[in-house]
Chains A and B, each alone.
Chain A
Amino acid sequence: MEFLSLITPLFLALVVGGTFVGIIFGAIPGMTATMAVAVCLPLTYSLGLENGLALLLGLYVGGISGGLVPAVLLGIPGTPSSITTTFDGYPMAQRGEGEKALRIGITSSFIGGIISLFALYFFAPTLADFAIEFSYVEKFLIILFALTVMAALSKDMLMGIFSGFLGIFIALIGTYDISDGGNGKLRLIPPGTEYWLDSGFSLLPVLIGMFGLAAILDEAELGVPKGQSKEDVKIGSGSTFSFSVFKGQAVNLIRSSGIGTFVGILPGVGGSAASILAYSNAKTFSKTPENFGKGEPAGLIASESGNNGLTGGALVPLLSLGIPGDSTTALLIGAFTLQGIQMGPLFIGNNPDTWNAMIFAMLIANVAMFTMMYVAIRYFALVVTIPKHVLFPIILMMCVIGAYTINYGIMFDVWTLLIFGLFGWVAVKLRLEVAPFIIGFILGPSAEIYFVKSIESFGDLTIFFTKSWIAVILWVLIIGSLIASVYMSKRQRKLEARLL
Chain B
Amino acid sequence: MDSLTQVTIDFDRSHLIFPTLIGGILVLLGLAIIAKRRHKLAEAGAYWGQIASHMDKPRFLGTLVLTVLYFSLMVPVGDIWPNTGLGFLICSIPYVFATGVLFMHERTLKQMLLMLVISVVAPALVWWLFTEIFFLTLP
| Residues on A facing B (Cβ under 8 Å) | 42-43, 45-46, 158-159, 161-162, 165-166, 168-169, 172, 176, 182-183, 185-188, 213, 216-217, 220-224, 226, 387-390, 392-394, 396-398, 400-401, 404-405, 408-409, 411, 414-415, 418, 422, 429, 444, 447-448, 451-452, 455-456, 459-462
CA distance A397 to B67 in the complex (A): 10
Interchain Cβ contacts under 8 Å between A and B, 6 examples? A46-B133, A172-B19, A187-B19, A400-B92, A405-B136, A411-B75
B105 at the binding interface (Cβ < 8 Å)? yes
Chain A residue, CB-CB nearest to B63: A220
Q: Which residues of A contact B23 (CB under 8 A)?
A: 169
Q: Are A396 and B18 in contact (CB under 8 A)?
A: no
Given contacts A46-B136, A461-B7, contact A165 B25 (CB under 8 A): yes
Chain B residue, CB-CB nearest to A407: B137
CA distance A408 to B134 in the complex (A): 12
Q: Which residues of A contact B100 (CB under 8 A)?
A: 389-390, 392-393
Q: Are A397 and B126 in contact (CB under 8 A)?
A: yes
Q: Are A405 and B103 in contact (CB under 8 A)?
A: no
Given contacts A162-B26, A223-B56, A393-B100, contact A418 B137 (CB under 8 A): no
Chain A residue, CB-CB nearest to B26: A165
B122 at the binding interface (Cβ < 8 Å)? yes
Whole-angstrom distance between the Cβ of B139 and the nearest chain A Cβ: 6
The count of residues in chain B whose C-beta lies closer than 8 Å to any C-beta of chain A is: 65
Query: Contact check: which of B16, B19, B21, B63 meets A217 at CB < 8 Å?
Result: B63
Q: Are B26 and A389 in contact (CB under 8 A)?
A: no
| Residues on B facing A (Cβ under 8 Å) | 2, 5-9, 11-12, 14-19, 21-23, 25-26, 29-30, 32-33, 36, 48, 51, 55-56, 59-60, 62-64, 67-68, 70-71, 74-75, 88, 92, 95-97, 99-105, 115, 118-119, 122-123, 126, 130, 133-139
Q: Which residues of A contact B119 (CB under 8 A)?
A: 393
Q: Are B134 and A45 in contact (CB under 8 A)?
A: yes
CA distance A456 to B11 in the complex (A): 9
Query: Contact check: which of B9, B48, B99, B105 meets A396 at CB < 8 Å?
Result: B99
Query: Contact check: which of A224, A415, A459 meets B8 at CB < 8 Å?
Result: A459
Whole-angstrom distance between the Cβ of A403 and the nearest chain B Cβ: 10
CA distance A185 to B13 in the complex (A): 9
Whole-angstrom distance between the Cβ of B85 and the nearest chain A Cβ: 10
Q: Are B56 and A161 in contact (CB under 8 A)?
A: no
Q: Which residues of B contact A415 (CB under 8 A)?
A: 71
Chain B residue, CB-CB nearest to A163: B29
Q: Which residues of B contact A186 (CB under 8 A)?
A: 15
Q: Are A158 and B18 in contact (CB under 8 A)?
A: no
Chain B residue, CB-CB nearest to A449: B18
CA distance A390 to B139 in the complex (A): 23
Q: Are B138 and A404 in contact (CB under 8 A)?
A: yes
Chain B residue, CB-CB nearest to A461: B5
Q: Are A158 and B96 in contact (CB under 8 A)?
A: no
Mostly, the B contact residues are: helix
Whole-angstrom distance between the Cβ of A69 and the nearest chain B Cβ: 22
Given contacts A217-B60, A404-B138, A460-B5, contact A429 B103 (CB under 8 A): no
Q: Which residues of A contact B17 (CB under 8 A)?
A: 451-452, 455
> Counting chain A CB atoms within 10 Å of each CB, which of B18, B23, B62 scores highest?
B18
Q: Which residues of B contact A409 (CB under 8 A)?
A: 137-139
For the complex of A and B, list the 5 residue pairs with the smallest distance between their C-beta atoms, beginning with the closest. A223-B56, A176-B15, A389-B103, A409-B137, A46-B134
Query: Contact check: which of B33, B51, B88 meets A429 at CB < 8 Å?
Result: B51
Query: Contact check: which of A43, A161, A182 meets B29 at CB < 8 Å?
Result: A161
Chain B residue, CB-CB nearest to A182: B15
Q: Which residues of A contact B75 (CB under 8 A)?
A: 411
Q: Are A459 and B7 in contact (CB under 8 A)?
A: yes
Query: Contact check: which of B6, B26, B59, B118 meets A223 at CB < 8 Å?
Result: B59
Q: Which residues of A contact B11 (CB under 8 A)?
A: 183, 456
Whole-angstrom distance between the Cβ of B98 and the nearest chain A Cβ: 8
Q: Which residues of A contact B22 (CB under 8 A)?
A: 165, 168-169, 172, 444
Besides the known contacts A162-B29, A387-B104, A429-B51, 18 further A-B residue pairs in the complex with CB atoms under 8 A apart:
A45-B136, A162-B26, A162-B33, A187-B16, A187-B19, A217-B63, A389-B101, A393-B97, A393-B122, A396-B96, A397-B92, A397-B96, A400-B70, A405-B137, A415-B71, A418-B71, A444-B22, A459-B8
Q: Which residues of A contact B126 (CB under 8 A)?
A: 397-398, 401
Whole-angstrom distance between the Cβ of A490 and the nearest chain B Cβ: 16
Chain B residue, CB-CB nearest to A457: B9
Whole-angstrom distance between the Cβ of A246 and the nearest chain B Cβ: 42
Whole-angstrom distance between the Cβ of A206 and the nearest chain B Cβ: 16
Q: Are A224 and B59 in contact (CB under 8 A)?
A: yes
Whole-angstrom distance between the Cβ of A392 and the nearest chain B Cβ: 6
Q: Are A390 and B55 in contact (CB under 8 A)?
A: no
CA distance A127 to B128 in the complex (A): 44
Chain B residue, CB-CB nearest to A169: B22
Given contacts A168-B22, A400-B88, A415-B71, contact A393 B33 (CB under 8 A): no
Q: Are B56 and A222 in contact (CB under 8 A)?
A: yes
Whole-angstrom distance between the Cβ of A240 and the nearest chain B Cβ: 37
Q: Are B5 and A452 in contact (CB under 8 A)?
A: no
Q: Are B18 and A418 in contact (CB under 8 A)?
A: no
Q: Which residues of A contact B123 (CB under 8 A)?
A: 397
Q: Are B51 and A452 in contact (CB under 8 A)?
A: no
Q: Which residues of A contact B7 (CB under 8 A)?
A: 455, 459-461
Given contacts A389-B115, A411-B139, contact A224 B103 (CB under 8 A): yes
Q: Which residues of B contact A459 (CB under 8 A)?
A: 6-9
Query: Contact check: which of B12, B15, B71, B104 meets A414 at CB < 8 Å?
Result: B71
Q: Which residues of B contact A222 (CB under 8 A)?
A: 56
Chain A residue, CB-CB nearest to B23: A169
Q: Are A452 and B9 in contact (CB under 8 A)?
A: yes
